[in-house]
Amino acid sequence: MNALEIKNVSKVYANAKVALDNVSLDVPEGSFFALLGPNGAGKSTLINILADTVNASSGNVSLLGRNLFHERAWCKRRMGVVPQEIAFDPFFSPREILKFSRGMYGQKADDAWVDELLERLELSEHAHKITRQLSGGMRRRLLVAQALVHRPKLIILDEPTAGVDVELRKRLWDFMRELNAAGTTILLTTHYLEEAEELCDRVAIIDQGKVITSRPMKALLGEVASSSLCLSYDKPLQFSEEDKAVLTDFSPRVCDHQLCLTLHSQGKSLNFDAAYQAAMQRFGPPAGVEIRQEDLEDVFLRLTGDKI
Amino acid sequence: MSHFNIIGTWTLFQRESRRFLRVKMQTIVAPALTAILYLIVFRYAMGDRQVPSLDVDYFSFLIPGLMMMTMLQNAFANTSSSMVVGKIMNVHVFLLMSPISAGEAIFAFLAAAVLRALVVGSILLLVLLPFSELALTHVWMILFYGICGSLIMASLGLIGGMWSKTFDDMAMVNNFIIMPLTFLSGVFYSVTQLPPFWQAVNAWNPFFHLIDGFRHGFIGTGDSDPLQSMGAVAALTVVAVLSSWYLWRIGWKLKE
């Protein structure tokens, strides 16, 4: 079953800005799903529609088989959202906030779970402070704890690691991996693409309110990402028209001392040996050889033609 | 699972009540001090002066009015400040994201505001009662007006809070709408002392009916017809509560 089925969702804001244009996405249950896109692509709008802080202009969403717009309360109890903007209630301490949050989701108090969350998100020491005294990183972790306190089946994280240092980020992701392994579906937006590549098994890229691609991470990297054979030489290469014609199958690129030949791109595969031999014949034995694989960031930049 | 989110509503009610208990100085001690100041100024400066047209001394006339005015202001403050702080700190998103329906949210917010009004009103009464000859003549009337008035003001506070983008907007609602209406409602004087034109105008001021009716519960007499006034107050309560519920439901100024 799909944890989320988003069907033809559009959002036009009051100022006529089209934030989402007929977006359809399936998030399989149990997946660790990366929703990527440049700034202003519509990621947060989509998440806010799921979270019920923005109304969709049209379309439909189902969560674990139920209609999100018609059975809001049922769906909300199974969903935990970490909003992008840091927000906290200045009157209460982290522990109180977590207790209230759990109660508001209709669940009986569970101090053990609250303690565990505080512990895992490294907030135990600060559990009794007034939230005003917490640092930016602590506040963001509190947001994560708040989204988890009612044990949702689907966790939605909108840029949860912005402003969180590397060490903590790693521990936060370890925690998310554990939850995912225990069956929780995780939908994540982030600007750290290497994190997404490492963590997520599915990925969707949206740009200007439209879905560009949505597929398993492996498939995206296997089919869309290209790989190249890069040969480096001792001296700068002179690249003639004839060289170009001979190597044309490999879409050669020359930069100073280096020649790169494409082995795999858009489902087309070429032989390593053939590429190596062809290069040898034109330029002689290289000083160094390297296989270069496009990573998620390269693919992302190519597909969106944009900055992250 | 119950159809209603009872735990959620109860939690929200607790959150909204703890908020005012956390700032006891402003919410409980300050009104008590104000009451003492009123006592000194009016009880001793005005002496045993009688209110024209009503057979009561001025101090006994004044206490219920002050009490009601304070209750109304506190009910308004509880919901409006929570909404404005929530919007400015962006915490209202947690409420929107939670499985608490519009009806449940309104219920919790209004209940907490009414509780605050009753607590503050009781403190004032406890401080002032020993110094006056006031009796609780019609308790049901006191409760009817006290609770309806608090509900109306708490609903207006919610609506004002939803509308306001800043603390300044909220202060504007408070200073330009709420304050004038309360001051002109006959807290400090009997409206029969006004010229006929202003009496007619005042008949349309809901605060006048709230305060006059509330006072009637204590002193057993008032400036307006109790039945008519109770009908108007009950109707206004329903309209105010339903409006705040409806606006919450459609996410007025809360959701894009």
The answer to whether residue B255 is domain-embedded is no
Which residues in chain A are contacts of B100 at CB distance < 8 A? 104
Which residues in chain A are contacts of B14 at CB distance < 8 A? 100, 103
Which residues in chain A are contacts of B85 at CB distance < 8 A? 90
Is A166 part of the contact surface with chain B (CB cutoff 8 Å)? no
- Mean pLDDT score of chain A, rounded to an integer? 90
CA distance A217 to chain B (A): 30
Write b or e for each residue in A260-294: b if 16 or more Cβ atoms lie within 10 A of its Cβ, otherwise e.
Answer: bbbbbbeeeebeeeebbebbeebbeebeeeeeeeb
CA distance B16 to chain A (A): 10
pLDDT tens-place string over residues A42-56: 999 999 999 999 999
The answer to whether residue B116 is domain-embedded is yes
This prediction's pTM? 0.88
The residues in B 24-53 lying below 8 A from A, measured between CB atoms, are: none
CA distance B97 to chain A (A): 5
- Dist CA A228 CA A294 (whole Å): 8
Is the CA virtual torsion B160, B161, B165, B167 positive or negative?
positive
- Dist CA B169 CA B185 (whole Å): 24
HSE on the CB side for B76, CA within 13 Å? 20
- Dist CA A40 CA A206 (whole Å): 10
The answer to whether residue B256 is domain-embedded is no
The answer to whether residue B136 is domain-embedded is yes
pLDDT tens-place string over residues B86-142: 999 889 999 999 999 999 999 999 999 999 999 999 999 998 888 888 889 999 999
Which residues in chain B are contacts of A87 at CB distance < 8 A? 89-91, 93-94
pLDDT tens-place string over residues A129-139: 988 889 888 89
Is B253 part of the contact surface with chain A (CB cutoff 8 Å)? no
The answer to whether residue B219 is domain-embedded is yes
**Which of B3, B15, B24 is most worth mutating to test chain A (most A CB atoms within 10 A of its CB)?**
B15
Over residues A280-294, the mean pLDDT reads: 87
The answer to whether residue B1 is domain-embedded is no
Is A52 part of the contact surface with chain B (CB cutoff 8 Å)? yes
**CA distance between the termini of chain A:** 32
List the single range of A154-168, A259-273, B3-17, B24-38 with lowest mean pLDDT.
A259-273
The answer to whether residue B81 is domain-embedded is yes
pLDDT at site B1:
46
Cβ–Cβ of A88/B18 closer than 8 Å? no
Assign A229 to helix, strand or coil: strand
* DSSP letter string, chain B: --SS-HHHHHHHHHHHHHHHHHTHIIIIIHHHHHHHHHIIIIIIHHTTPBPTTSSSBHHHHHHHHHHHHHHHHHHHHHHHHHHHHHHHTTTHHHHHHSS--HHHHHHHHHHHHHHHHHHHHHHHHHHHGGGS------HHHHHHHHHHHHHHHHHHHHHHHHH-SSHHHHHHHIIIIIHHHHHTTSSSS-GGGS-HHHHHHHTT-HHHHHHHHHHHHHHS--SS-HHHHHHHHHHHHHHHHHHHHHHHHHTTTT--
The answer to whether residue B47 is domain-embedded is yes
Is B91 part of the contact surface with chain A (CB cutoff 8 Å)? yes
Which residues in chain B are contacts of A91 at CB distance < 8 A? 18-19, 22
Question: CA nearest A109 in B: which residue?
Answer: B7
Residue keyed to tokens 């089925």: A5
Q: Give chain B's domain count.
A: 1
pLDDT tens-place string over residues A68-111: 999 999 999 999 999 988 888 888 999 999 999 999 999 999 99
Task: Give me the domains of chain A, ranges plus CATH numbers.
Answer: 2-221 (3.40.50.300), 225-304 (3.30.70)
Enter the tokens of residue B99: 């499985």
Over residues A58-62, the mean pLDDT reads: 97
Taking alpha carbons only, the member of B219, B246, B207 closest to residue B105 is: B246
Other beta carbons within 10 angstroms of residue A169's beta carbon come to 18
- Better pLDDT: A3 or B192: A3
- Residue B60: domain span: 6-250
